[in-house]
């Protein structure tokens, strides 16, 4: 099947499905979405471990998956089940302790590769899970006078990133022929695609601020200027997240991080923009709206 058609199918099916999960299953502070984030963190950590293995930083895939969910799982425990927030630190201490002591009885080659395996373990423990956990943190956002504030914020965050990706791809296809190759990490990316993606993110953010003034309550500036800033920062972060993952793939001499997502490649290829944009959107909204 043509890659463009596969990409369109994923887009047409994925957006309504995510919308249904966000709007239709808000129970326990969006537990259904939080579990989805945990699953994608595990799959992303496995793909990252595969990339690291190509640079002689091997770690078992099962271990990568478990380490990769520590961040989002601990935040889910706090957000959805009101467990003490110190659980987040406890989860990470447990993971770090495992990396430090799990190979003390290894022999020969196991000892020689101990430091690279530990480094790989710390890497998969952070990316993409620690970045994605900021989506889970949005589930506790409350705004006086609105019972669906968290739903609206999460939905528009995802729309900002999806719009960025789709508009960047379309603008690059239509207007990017003569302005590609600027960034060595991803020579197929164009200036037109970058501008188109960021503009789309701004439009979505401003639309959210205008459609839901009871949720997007500006602190310092008006709704439109605040929406522009949030959209601009989130759009740039989404683009940089994509480019950052491209650097890792190029370093590992790999075109795609995997093959799980038709038309897009691997899980990391699909969530790289979301991962870096999540903490940026969270902090920007905290400053300008929450």
Residue-by-residue pLDDT tens, the chain, 290 positions: 566 676 677 677 778 888 899 989 999 999 999 999 999 999 999 999 999 999 889 899 999 999 999 999 999 999 999 999 898 899 999 999 999 998 887 777 667 778 899 999 999 999 999 999 999 999 988 766 666 889 999 999 999 999 999 899 889 888 878 788 788 878 888 899 999 999 999 999 999 999 999 999 998 889 999 999 999 999 999 999 999 999 999 899 888 888 887 767 789 999 999 999 999 999 999 999 97
Q: Considering only CA atoms, which of 279, 282, 290 is closest in space to residue 131?
A: 279
User: Looking at residue 3, what is its pLDDT?
Assistant: 61
Q: Could you tell me how many residues make up the chain?
A: 290
Tokens of 45: 């950590």
d(CA 167, CA 3): 17
**What is the Cα–Cα distance from 216 to 209, expressed in whole angstroms?**
5
Number of H helices, E strands in the chain: 12, 0
What's residue 104's pLDDT?
84
d(CA 48, CA 55): 11
Collapsing DSSP to helix, strand or coil, 213 comes out as coil
Question: What's the whole-model pTM score?
Answer: 0.92
3-state DSSP helix/strand/coil % of the chain, to nearest 5: 75, 0, 25
Q: Whole-angstrom distance between the N-terminal and C-terminal Cα of the chain?
A: 44
| Residue 65 pLDDT | 97
What is residue 15's predicted lDDT score, i.e. its pLDDT? 80
The span from the CA of 96 to the CA of 30, in Å, is 28
Contact, 288 vs 278, CB < 8 A? no
Q: Is 239 exposed, middle or buried (0-12, 13-18, 19+ CB in 10 A)?
A: buried
CA dist 161 and 278 (Å) reads 9
CB-based contacts of 21, cutoff 8 Å, min separation 6: 32, 33, 36
Q: Cβ neighbours of residue 256 under 8 Å, at least 6 residues apart?
A: 249, 265, 266, 269
């Amino acid at each position: 099947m043509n890659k463009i058609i596969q990409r369109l199918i994923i887009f047409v099916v994925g957006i309504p499905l995510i919308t249904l999960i966000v709007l239709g299953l808000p129970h326990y502070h969006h537990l259904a979405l939080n579990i989805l984030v945990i699953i994608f963190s595990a799959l992303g950590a496995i793909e990252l471990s595969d990339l690291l293995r190509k640079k002689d930083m091997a770690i078992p895939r099962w271990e990568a998956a478990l380490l990769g969910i520590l961040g989002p799982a601990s935040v889910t425990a706090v957000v959805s089940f009101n467990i003490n927030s110190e659980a987040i630190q406890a989860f990470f201490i447990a993971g770090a302790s495992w990396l430090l002591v799990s190979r003390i009885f290894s022999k020969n080659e196991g000892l020689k590769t101990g430091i690279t395996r530990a480094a790989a373990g710390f890497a998969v423990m952070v990316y993409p899970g620690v970045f994605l956990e900021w989506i889970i943190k949005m589930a506790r956002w409350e705004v006086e006078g609105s019972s669906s504030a968290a739903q609206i914020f999460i939905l528009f965050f995802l729309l900002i990133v999806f719009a960025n990706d789709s508009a960047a791809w379309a603008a690059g296809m239509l207007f990017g022929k003569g302005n590609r190759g600027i960034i060595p990490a991803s020579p197929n990316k164009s200036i037109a695609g970058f501008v188109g993606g960021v503009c789309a993110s701004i439009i979505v953010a401003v639309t959210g601020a205008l459609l839901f003034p009871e949720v997007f309550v500006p602190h310092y500036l008006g709704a439109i200027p605040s929406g522009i800033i949030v959209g601009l920062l989130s759009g740039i972060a989404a683009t940089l997240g994509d480019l950052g993952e491209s650097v890792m793939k190029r370093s590992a001499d790999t075109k795609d991080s995997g093959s799980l997502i038709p038309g897009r490649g691997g899980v990391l290829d699909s969530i790289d923009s979301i991962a870096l944009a999540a903490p940026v959107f969270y902090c920007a909204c905290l400053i300008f709206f929450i």
